[in-house]
């Protein structure tokens, strides 16, 4: 072989090896994702900060319809309910967009003063979040009214108690309510509370819930995906409230916001209109359209406490239950000490069928709730409504109003079997526990 040919071939082989090595290195680097959680439970902060995007200053004029009046004040001030400037109790700051947040649970409370017409799963479980720095901008108070939300620097968070996993209709599933000081990681609607004229922001309702604390040498997390939320649109036809696959119900001419709905309820109560079309009433009633979220959240991470022991690796114990069509993919990273969980709400997923019930609420109870919400003990909501109808129909107004209600969502304890099980008989897209610790090499 000539020396020149040998050299050329050797150079070509070396060049090819260099190119192949570079390509393999590039491919390897492409799949390396640095995980920055910053706590035993959270999201990969760079990923969700990018997804949250530039966080705007919340605008109550656009979201609520007023910069000075909350929903109750606007309804009472309106000549008739349909002319109220404020048309909802809460509204997305960025329409249709949900936001990520993480931090520490503070000021856990069980509410006693929610408007039951918009809370068919019962009164709220609430707390404030002391947010991690990347989520601090979500905390805003953009109204001039007296502060009614969380303390300065805290983000308020609410979910109806019936949407928390229950062992039975009166008892929460053990472990599925957070403790003061727990870590919280959540994804949900970032809203202005239009019921209060301080117009503070909240996560309400959440879609993903995960909270954790250290138990022994492990981080123990409880998590679930909220299967339902209220559209704040009302219909006179109760059969439509849970027809999740029926998109036309949202645009039906009879589907309207609460002030317009109340106005039409009063018309039906005083027998104005065609009874063959709308039907007359002998009491007020409210039917709110339920929605079923299907957005798959970003990966969240549960991390082992403490530093990695020499030669140690992660131990991950999961006890998760999913509905058909939902998958949860797990990854582990001994370097970061975190296990990642990626849930996918697939096209085959269908929500658990709801069983709607008719409940009633006494005007005295309703009035107390509205007085508390408006911080005004002198309001008499029954008299205010009766003043808007002829005297002959005021007795009908005085009958206890009816609203949709649902039993709390009951699920069995997480399976004792390690891993993920599928069950179509429980209502949550997914729920369960995750425990992460170090095991010595």
DSSP codes of every residue in 113-147:
---GGG-TT-SEEEEEEEE-GGGGGG--B-SSSPP
Nearest to 244 by CA among 88, 108, 360, 349: 349
> Is 158:149 a contact under the CB 8 Å cutoff?
no
> Is 261:323 a contact under the CB 8 Å cutoff?
no
Output the pLDDT for position 33.
59
Nearest to 327 by CA among 345, 304, 347, 301: 345
Residues in the chain: 441
The structure tokens listed for 183 are 């870590």
Give the strand pairing for 313-322 and 419-422. Answer: parallel
The predicted model scores a pTM of 0.90
Nearest to 127 by CA among 100, 102, 97, 150: 150
> Is 344:327 a contact under the CB 8 Å cutoff?
yes
Output the pLDDT for position 1.
46
> Is 361:376 a contact under the CB 8 Å cutoff?
no
Query: Among all chains, which residue has been given the structure tokens 């949202």?
Result: 250
What is the chain's Cα-based Rg? 27
**What CA dihedral angle connects 191, 194, 199 and 205, to 10 degrees?**
-30
Output the pLDDT for position 438.
97
Map out the domains of the chain as residue ranges: 41-232+291-354+406-439
**What CA dihedral angle connects 277, 280, 285 and 289, to 10 degrees?**
0
Nearest to 227 by CA among 287, 300, 159, 172: 159
> Is 186:406 a contact under the CB 8 Å cutoff?
no
Distance CA 234, CA 232 (A): 6
Residue-level pLDDT, tens digit, the chain, 441 residues: 444 444 445 434 443 433 333 333 444 444 445 899 999 999 999 999 999 999 999 999 999 999 999 998 898 888 889 999 999 999 999 999 999 999 999 999 999 888 899 999 999 999 999 999 999 999 999 998 888 888 999 999 999 999 999 999 999 999 999 999 999 999 999 999 999 899 999 999 999 999 999 999 999 999 999 999 999 999 999 999 999 999 999 999 999 999 999 999 999 999 998 787 788 999 999 999 999 999 999 999 999 999 999 989 999 999 999 999 999 999 999 999 999 999 999 999 999 999 999 999 999 988 887 787 777 888 898 998 999 899 999 999 999 999 999 999 999 999 888 999 999 999 999 999 999 999 987
Distance CA 140, CA 155 (A): 8
3-state secondary structure of 34: coil
């Amino acid at each position: 072989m000539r020396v020149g040919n040998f050299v050329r071939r050797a150079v070509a082989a070396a060049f090819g090896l260099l190119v192949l090595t570079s390509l393999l290195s590039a491919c390897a680097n492409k799949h390396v994702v640095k995980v920055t959680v910053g706590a035993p439970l959270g999201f990969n902060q760079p990923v969700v900060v990018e997804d949250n995007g530039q966080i705007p200053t919340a605008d109550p004029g656009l979201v609520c319809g007023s910069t000075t009046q909350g929903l109750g004040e606007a309804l009472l001030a309106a000549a008739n309910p349909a002319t109220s400037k404020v048309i909802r109790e809460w509204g997305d700051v960025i329409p249709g967009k949900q936001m990520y947040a993480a931090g520490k649970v503070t000021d856990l409370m069980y509410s006693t003063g929610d408007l039951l017409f918009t809370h068919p799963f019962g009164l709220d479980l609430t707390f404030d979040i002391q947010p991690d720095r990347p989520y601090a901008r979500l905390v805003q108070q953009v109204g001039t009214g007296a502060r009614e939300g969380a303390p300065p620097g805290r983000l308020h968070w609410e979910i109806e108690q019936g949407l928390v996993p229950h062992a039975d209709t009166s008892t929460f599933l053990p472990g599925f309510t957070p403790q003061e000081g727990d870590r919280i990681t959540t994804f949900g609607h970032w809203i202005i509370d239009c019921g209060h004229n301080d117009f503070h922001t909240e996560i309400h309702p959440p879609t993903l819930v995960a909270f954790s604390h250290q138990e022994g040498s492990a981080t123990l997390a409880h998590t679930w995906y909220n299967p339902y939320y209220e559209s704040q649109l009302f219909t006179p036809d109760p059969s439509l409230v849970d027809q999740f696959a029926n998109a036309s119900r949202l645009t039906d001419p009879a589907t309207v916001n609460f002030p317009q709905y109340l106005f039409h309820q009063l018309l039906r109560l005083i027998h104005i209109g065609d009874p063959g079309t709308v039907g007359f009433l002998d009491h007020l009633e409210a039917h709110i359209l339920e929605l079923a979220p299907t957005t798959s959240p970003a990966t969240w991470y549960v991390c082992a406490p403490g530093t990695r022991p020499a030669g140690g690796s992660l131990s991950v114990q999961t006890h998760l239950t999913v509905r058909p069509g939902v998958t949860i993919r797990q990854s582990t990273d001994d370097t970061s000490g975190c296990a990642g969980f990626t849930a996918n709400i697939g096209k085959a997923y269908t929500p658990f069928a709801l069983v709607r019930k008719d409940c009633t609420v006494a005007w005295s109870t309703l009035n107390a709730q509205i007085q508390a919400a408006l911080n005004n003990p002198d309001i008499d909501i029954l008299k205010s409504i009766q003043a808007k109808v002829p005297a002959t129909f005021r007795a009908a107004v005085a009958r206890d109003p009816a609203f949709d209600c649902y039993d709390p969502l009951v699920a069995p304890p997480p399976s004792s079997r390690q891993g993920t099980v599928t069950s179509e008989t429980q209502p949550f897209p997914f729920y369960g526990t995750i425990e992460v610790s170090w095991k010595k090499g």
